[in-house]
Structure 1
């Protein structure tokens, strides 16, 4: 009886405030009361101001989040977010992925790689009216008009080359916002623990809890001597940010309010049930199988060649994360019947819609028709698109597309091929060298070609180029010939093709370039279909969202846009959860859990220096007696504090909170009620994976690295004294 009561109370406490929402900063004043209820004392108006602390210390990586933590441009993010930087600097003679890295002086900090950037959002402006101005009715023309308007806004915004601007769609095209970001082009690696710390537990523990991962890494932003962004140069100087986060060395306790700022990638909470069914019944299972095959192949080849293991370490980690997330989504859909929940809400929405005489009753019907077309198009093109997966073919396709786009005025070129894109275009071609091995690429491409050949939907342009007789051996020999005869594996050759004309491509004898040219018309035809459909959806989705938002408001539900890679804030509290019957997961883990999990075999192979420090009880000022509040508090009454409040007696490693995060929030700073850094977001629990589609406050938990563990590693294990001196520690 007591267990059931505790479970009910925990579930109730988790949903009392319903910490749902990935809010745009400007929305914070509208939820000021909710922030205050969670104990977040920093003024909501301050959080809405991107020019003030702490928002002006938040940094985007383009795929993850980070934050400034010193006046000398020092940045902290997740280890897995900095994987490419660590991999870029790893060689067989000094494998920083395996051994870790620490620069004791600034002149020892190496470049994180030509593609690495830091993006600092300085302003976000509503440009809905400008994007929707003078749109034609014909779908393809409408799509082109929207793109033209977006490009014009971006061009005007990017009058200074030091800025990158983007126009993002919110509420599925109902609103558009222009983001202006300062670009830091010289990013350097400063301090990274070994992977046996940064990803302790590996894929086994991914999305699981309890966790004991030291998923953190420090980078540094550099600029030219004039203080302006510049490409890598030895005499560049550290960037001086407008502010940097203070670090609370005492961390947080259970029940404390926290908030997270970052760049969440994508959620689908406003999508229709039919879209969820398509994802769960076809797209996710097929994609998970696809990633698993590639992972198995790369791991098998990596076992025999350490250089392959280094080059593909980031690829493996990324694919494994995607695959486990897909499987977690599928398991979650079955465990909690997300489809049924979504359908129930949709039925209620339809009933509400019928009562609203002013609502367009055709909204759902029109949208469902278009979605059916979109799903069919995805299935039709899936295997053909995968059959073009070769790294060198992808490079050849981009290069030929560039030559074709250069025949048009810059303003009319496709995004990604304009003058503003050329630095990143070049850097992407250069980066191939650090992540490509012909023997691996050949096998992976052959697998995709075989999958394409095994299904009935064929594309004549591809079949004509392969031109092989029946039998896998012939296809294997054909593929081998592509790699033997191409010159695109050479970086200088790839870069030289950026200046070639379309005619030179069409006369080339390089097999990958010939294939790219041959497939161009087929790919463009598919792209035209997709753009036409997007033009139709650009009318149907906003109409649907207008109605949905009105419905949500009638229910007093939170109204915020789906995640789309733009800057957001989410709030919650430090809290465990009831994962299953009679199993409550505590919000904190301890150093001793590392020793308990250690087997000496990856992924549970903690470094000996970490084990020695734990065994010696060398915790120093980082030892915490309790991660709970007074035993009379509501939290301790709920769960009896499991251990007595004053017996934690260790250093916290990871902790849970109810903040609403998703991919892209990796590396996001976890801040206490005063806006001080107390942790880094790096994962979600397995039960919470379905939050991309539906937020369940009783089980949705994010997993964070505790800042006290980061400081302990810096102090007692790796002796990063030079970096500790840079940090602004409070309550130490």
Structure 2
């Protein structure tokens, strides 16, 4: 009965369920605008996206390709999450000037710190180019179709109109049923302005990650610089603060339950329209494998980080990155099970087939679900082997990751010749300096020992090279780390010294490279071709399935495109939730909760003395309310990775919060959004301003913002 009730809710789509979805901002007029206004929005769709006049989109750039940020002053002041700016904060940190531990605040423009390779990208306009991209593809087989589409995209990207400082980017939507052009402007001089200490910006660290109640001041400040014409330019001392087309006013009015919230940003990847068989594979096979690998890597790193401050600084960003999705996958699997996602999808598929039959479309769509079953069963061992290779070799064992880069370098020589090899080699030597800066041989050796045993014993045996068919992993590890030059930057550079033949011979004589090459070649020969062949069939099926869903769903159905790191709008309300029986979570947390969690000296739950003093005095200035200091709040906005740093905007277009996480019970929203438990977590802008002003004394930064709804004294 419970399953039937949930299915009815999904099919009927009442007002409460209308809060899911990630929508293209240029296509909000009509149903979306009506829904947003029914939830309390006072703006128009044109206020959110407008080509000819400034709009909200002009204040929301993509932050370094992975997060979102927002412009909050007329001088290009940029706000994003602490964890989004973490690499930059870490790169400027030393034992003597530990900005991770102590925070950083530039008290004038001259003190703002440049960041090589950091960039932010604005969207100038969005256009539908589906017809042009699909031209000449109607009768082609899948592989040739994909090739033709790529050729069309390449041609259109180069030929469609844009300004000289702009770029054209074409992205696919609805599994290849729609293509959109994004005309972008990328600014490459972005300087660090401010960051709270990690005891505020990362408060709760990995224990509280993906958890509510939350008490993290997850923010950092940067500034965009431009040339004298306000156009993108590489770093120069002559650059000036960027003048934005639009910046977000900051509201001190706060939030309460059922307030409208709009989150604008660049969600990374969702797969909301997977068939049930695919979700079942994620829950029962792929997620458990990835979780096990990262669990082992994290335990090793944590052991070293707790004992050595230098290692803690070296591994801080890496550890946070690994832990983030490790915990997400755990919550995702639990949420999918708790909400009966597989059973729900089976029921939805039954309803889908009924619509296919009713429309007389059996010939076109009738075999889709059986074809999905067949192909997902065939791809299962390849997908599992692929995930083990990705997690062990490419992401979590640095010696193997570096060695794989060298393997790719050797393939460049084999396919493109000596000149291409030498060009890539020089770039690799330069680029690896930063990698080795944060590399610790002792830590990585222990990680290798743990993960290589998992790889050898858990990855499908038929795909493994003979080098992994051993039982003495400690001996293997000691042999590789004592003999390979890859364990140091000096050794790495020595491997690449000399002419091409010398380098190739030296590489293939290195014990670490030999081992990594054997694993890579086994993967390239035994796994990748099989996976790619079956996945190509699944891609075609998914596109047809998506086309059928769009074509056959009732008019009131809300079919939004999966996230793909393009600019999206998601709207909802501030809302508490019930994570389990007899428990209700309020939607707002306060500084009282920080003090309740406080553990002196603990790397996750320590609290700065200055913050304790402000709390004891209740010295919150204009940012507190009724003697309390709000910290975070939650809403029903449908977010994912990439929405980190996204602005939470109120009904009138003012900034009220900064998105940084989701609740653990709802992390399955990448695959299955359930409005009863899916919540995004936002740091309250009043807490952000309180930390900048009262804690850090950087009042000049608040002064350049436009504050609205300021409480009366």
| TM superposition score normalised by structure 1 | 0.85
| Match in the other structure for 2:644 | 666
SS where residue 680 of structure 1 aligns? strand
| 1:383-409 deviation digits (Å, cap 9, x = unpaired) | 445553443443443355356558879
2:388 equivalent to 1:377? no
SS where residue 656 of structure 2 aligns? strand
Per-residue deviation, 1:231: 3.5
| Match in the other structure for 1:6 | none
- How do 1:224-263 residues align onto structure 2 when only pairs under 5 Å count? 224-225=227-228, 227-263=230-266
Contact 1:433 1:491 in 2 (8 A): no
Cα distance in structure 1, aligned partners of 2:609 and 2:272: 45
Per-residue deviation, 1:720: 0.8
2:339 equivalent to 1:339? no
- How do 1:243-392 residues align onto structure 2 when only pairs under 5 Å count? 243-359=246-362, 360=364, 361-389=366-394, 390-392=397-399
Cα distance in structure 2, aligned partners of 1:423 and 1:252: 53
Return closer, same or farther for 1:505/1:237 CA change in 2, 3 Å cut-off.
farther
Cα distance in structure 2, aligned partners of 1:64 and 1:702: 15
Per-residue deviation, 1:681: 0.8
| Match in the other structure for 1:221 | 224
Cα distance in structure 2, aligned partners of 1:431 and 1:251: 42
SS where residue 713 of structure 1 aligns? helix
| Match in the other structure for 2:563 | 563
| Match in the other structure for 1:19 | 19
Cα distance in structure 1, aligned partners of 2:501 and 2:352: 52
2:662 equivalent to 1:684? yes
Return closer, same or farther for 1:167/1:504 CA change in 2, 3 Å cut-off.
farther
| Match in the other structure for 1:170 | 173
| Match in the other structure for 1:472 | 473
| Match in the other structure for 1:8 | none
- Range with greater deviation from structure 2 (504-513 or 347-356): 504-513
Per-residue deviation, 1:59: 1.3
Cα distance in structure 2, aligned partners of 1:724 and 1:138: 58
Return closer, same or farther for 1:579/1:451 CA change in 2, 3 Å cut-off.
closer
- How do 1:392-407 residues align onto structure 2 when only pairs under 5 Å count? 392-398=399-405, 400-401=407-408, 404-405=411-412
| Match in the other structure for 1:101 | 104
Cα distance in structure 2, aligned partners of 1:13 and 1:457: 42
| Match in the other structure for 2:119 | 117
Aligned residue pairs total 685
- How do 1:507-526 residues align onto structure 2 when only pairs under 5 Å count? 508=507, 509-512=509-512, 521-525=521-525, 526=527
Return closer, same or farther for 1:381/1:254 CA change in 2, 3 Å cut-off.
closer
SS where residue 80 of structure 1 aligns? coil
| Match in the other structure for 2:545 | 544
Return closer, same or farther for 1:597/1:711 CA change in 2, 3 Å cut-off.
same
Contact 2:399 2:486 in 1 (8 A): no
SS where residue 379 of structure 1 aligns? helix
Return closer, same or farther for 1:277/1:110 CA change in 2, 3 Å cut-off.
same
| 1:585-638 deviation digits (Å, cap 9, x = unpaired) | 22222222222222323422111111100111112222224xxxxxxxxxxxxx
> 1:131 pairs with 124, 130, 133, which one?
133
Per-residue deviation, 1:167: 3.2
| Match in the other structure for 2:596 | 596
Per-residue deviation, 1:143: 3.7
Cα distance in structure 2, aligned partners of 1:471 and 1:407: 34
| Match in the other structure for 1:505 | 504
- Range with greater deviation from structure 2 (483-492 or 195-204): 483-492
SS where residue 37 of structure 2 aligns? helix
Per-residue deviation, 1:514: 5.2
| 1:349-370 deviation digits (Å, cap 9, x = unpaired) | 1222222213421222233323
2:432 equivalent to 1:429? yes
Cα distance in structure 1, aligned partners of 2:285 and 2:490: 35
2:43 equivalent to 1:42? yes
Cα distance in structure 1, aligned partners of 2:662 and 2:529: 38
| 1:281-319 deviation digits (Å, cap 9, x = unpaired) | 111112112111111000112223222111111121122
Cα distance in structure 2, aligned partners of 1:663 and 1:273: 23
Cα distance in structure 2, aligned partners of 1:123 and 1:512: 48
| Match in the other structure for 1:633 | none
Contact 1:212 1:653 in 2 (8 A): yes
Return closer, same or farther for 1:199/1:405 CA change in 2, 3 Å cut-off.
same
| Match in the other structure for 2:8 | none
2:605 equivalent to 1:614? no
| 1:481-502 deviation digits (Å, cap 9, x = unpaired) | 35446665578679x78x9868
Per-residue deviation, 1:584: 2.6
Return closer, same or farther for 1:573/1:168 CA change in 2, 3 Å cut-off.
same
| 1:178-198 deviation digits (Å, cap 9, x = unpaired) | 333222222221111111111
| 1:564-593 deviation digits (Å, cap 9, x = unpaired) | 211100111222223333433222222222
Contact 2:486 2:492 in 1 (8 A): no
Cα distance in structure 1, aligned partners of 2:444 and 2:163: 39
Cα distance in structure 2, aligned partners of 1:238 and 1:133: 43
Per-residue deviation, 1:200: 1.6
RMSD of aligned Cα (Å): 3.4
Contact 1:392 1:489 in 2 (8 A): no
Per-residue deviation, 1:516: 6.1
Cα distance in structure 2, aligned partners of 1:580 and 1:14: 23
- Range with greater deviation from structure 2 (128-137 or 572-581): 128-137
Return closer, same or farther for 1:616/1:156 CA change in 2, 3 Å cut-off.
same
Cα distance in structure 2, aligned partners of 1:459 and 1:376: 9
Return closer, same or farther for 1:695/1:518 CA change in 2, 3 Å cut-off.
closer
SS where residue 560 of structure 1 aligns? coil
| Match in the other structure for 1:73 | 76
Return closer, same or farther for 1:379/1:500 CA change in 2, 3 Å cut-off.
farther
| Match in the other structure for 1:628 | none
Contact 2:46 2:55 in 1 (8 A): no
Cα distance in structure 2, aligned partners of 1:108 and 1:731: 31
Contact 1:29 1:44 in 2 (8 A): yes
| 1:388-447 deviation digits (Å, cap 9, x = unpaired) | 34434434433553565588799xx9xxx9x9x999978853431343222222322232
SS where residue 121 of structure 1 aligns? strand
Return closer, same or farther for 1:731/1:382 CA change in 2, 3 Å cut-off.
closer
Return closer, same or farther for 1:441/1:160 CA change in 2, 3 Å cut-off.
farther
Per-residue deviation, 1:537: 3.3
Cα distance in structure 2, aligned partners of 1:504 and 1:100: 44
| 1:328-349 deviation digits (Å, cap 9, x = unpaired) | 1222233222222222212221
Cα distance in structure 2, aligned partners of 1:430 and 1:158: 39
2:454 equivalent to 1:447? no
Unmatched tracts of structure 2, length 5 or more? 1-11
